[in-house]
Amino acid sequence: MGVVHGEEMVLNIGPQHPSTHGVLRLRVKTDGEIISEITPVIGYLHRCFEKHCENVTYDQVIPYTDRCDYLAAMANNFGYVVAVEELMELKIPEKVEYIRVIMAELQRIASHLLALGVYGLDIGAFTPFLFMLRDRERILDMFELTCGARLLYNYMWVGGVSHDLPKGFVETAFQFLDYFEPQIDEYNKLLTHNKIFVERTADIGVLPADVAISYGVSGPNLRASGVKWDLRRNAPYSIYDKFEFDVPVGDGAKGTLGDCWDRYYVRMLEVKESVKILRQALAQIPKDGDVHQALPKKIRPPKGSIYSRTETPRGDLGFYIESDGSPIPSRVKMRSPAFTALSVLGEIAEGWMMSDVISILGSLDIVLGEIDR
């Protein structure tokens, strides 16, 4: 079959663009409509997080971690706090652990809802975006009930949490879960099995498993390529080993294993698993206990370093903390999952057309705040 070769053109997508999930710039070399090379240029949101960490105390770092991955702020707090507590070898009361898991799973649902809604918006479907944001607002209401903030909470502190669950939180949460579970079927009817959506996402941007591991991809992106790796199951932290849940893995139902549709569907299935974990946690949470009893008077970890990982909605978030015995950290490095997910774009987007690039970028679910820190 004859192939038409056009002239090579260098295009620029971004940094201001409605579908680039933040300030990302893509330098694209195209041959007609087909991409021959794509280079992401980042750094437009570099807010010097690591320099700030070297100048403030350990608990003052927590609001800065919120603002890195602003769509899943609880998960960032969780990752940092788990790392510092491991360095200090603190023992956390059980009620605090349950509260943390409940908040982390609610945040996982909220983050996935936003990611899937915005993905639909990129493809062109406006209604799922409005529906998913409406349900996300109910979760944000619950967060606001507890700690007063909608998006950036500063909730998890080293040794505890900032506010106890208010009266009536458990009932509100159960009401929300009963309302929300049938909604997942509605989303599947609206978007997941929609013929246009499937045609735009299946078989596109296939990420093989070995390439994914070499690029350090983790989280739903890795699970969609068939690798069953979830930090909550394989390297449990906090009290995740007490709960029963499955780890959804992509299976190439609509096309090839590891395509965009798999990445989308794995996130949808993870929302269901989070609902399962939430039901168990809300039923088992101890009724009384003081959430501030284990807060250390002075956060002064012993000299040493630690690298610890937790599972956020985007993948595994790693914190490398080095302490020299003073109340101010010597170095905090945040290894973000979206950084590795974006690095793989240059490899999997070549050979596809321009509109497929937007589809692939949306399926990777990146947040520029986390990439640039």
Partner 1 sequence: MSADQEKLIAELVEKGLAGDMDPINAIEDRVLRSKAKAALAKAKRAAKVAAASAPADEKLAEEPPADTTPSDNPNQKFGKMIEDKFPGSLGADLNDTHIQLKPDNWFDIATWLKSEPSLHFDSLQCQTGMDLGDNILEARYNFHSMTHDHKIEIRIAVTRDKPNIPSIEQIWRIGDWFERETYDMFGFHFDGHRDHRRMLLPEDWEGYPLRKDYEVQETYHGIVVPKVKEGWE
Partner 2 sequence: MGLLENRFQDNVVVAKLDKLIGWARSTSPWYFQFGLACCAIEMMATAASRHDLERLGMMPRSSPRQADVMIVAGTVTMKMALRVKKLYEQMADPKYVIAMGSCATSGGPYWQHGYHVLKGVDIVVPVDVYVPGCPPRPEALIEGLLKLQEKILEERPLTRKMA
Residues that bind partner 2 (CB under 8 A): 15-18, 22-23, 43-48, 51-52, 55, 63-64, 67, 70-71, 114, 129-131, 133-134, 137, 150-152, 368-369
Residue type, 149: A
Cα separation, 202 vs 265, whole angstroms: 11
Is 16 among the residues that bind partner 1 (CB under 8 A)?
Answer: no
When binding is defined by CB under 8 A, the residue of 29, 322, 352, 353 that contacts partner 1 is 322
Order the strands of the 34-41 sheet from edge to edge: 8-13, 25-31, 34-41
Q: Which of residues 227-246 bind partner 1 (CB under 8 A)?
A: 227, 229, 234-235
Q: Which residue has the tokens 């899943």?
A: 72
CA pair distance 120, 156, nearest whole angstrom = 32
- Whether 340 contacts 32, CB under 8 Å: no
Whole-number Å distance between alpha carbons of 257 and 273? 21
In angstroms, the CA 268 to CA 16 distance is: 29
Q: How many angstroms separate the CA atoms of 52 and 47, rounded?
A: 9
Measure the N-to-C terminal CA separation of the chain; round to a whole number of Å.
47
DSSP string for residues in 123-137: HT--HHHHHHHHHHH
Question: What minimum distance in Å lies between the beta carbon of 300 and partner 1?
Answer: 9
Q: CB of 198: closest distance to partner 2 in angstroms?
A: 25
Q: Enumerate residues 6+ apart whose C-beta is below 8 A from 70.
A: 151, 152, 367, 369
Interface with partner 1 in residues 191-230 (CB under 8 A): 211, 213-216, 227, 229
Peptide bond into 15 cis (omega under 30): yes
Site for partner 1 in 247-306 (CB under 8 A): 304-305
CB distance 187 to 268 below 8 Å: yes
Q: Which amino acid is at 266?
A: V
Q: Please report how close the Cβ of residue 161 comes to partner 1 at its closest, in angstroms.
A: 25
Looking at 21-29, 41-49, 171-179, 261-269, which segment touches partner 1 (CB under 8 A)?
41-49
15 interface partner picked from partner 2, partner 1, none, CB below 5 to 8 A per type: partner 2
Nearest distance in Å: CB 133, partner 1: 31
Select 263 or 309, whichever has its Cβ closest to partner 1.
309
Which of partner 2, partner 1, none has residue 339 at its interface (CB below 5 to 8 Å by kind)?
partner 1
Q: How far is the CB of 118 from partner 1 (least distance, A)?
A: 24
> Which of partner 1, partner 2, none does residue 67 bind to, with CB < 5 to 8 Å depending on kind?
partner 2
Q: Which of 5, 51, 167, 287 binds partner 1 (CB under 8 A)?
A: 51
Locate tokens 């609902």: which residue?
A: 275
Sites of contact with partner 1 (CB under 8 A): 42-43, 46, 48, 50-51, 54, 211, 213-216, 227, 229, 234-235, 304-305, 307, 309, 318, 320, 322, 325-327, 331, 333, 335, 339-340, 343, 347, 372-373
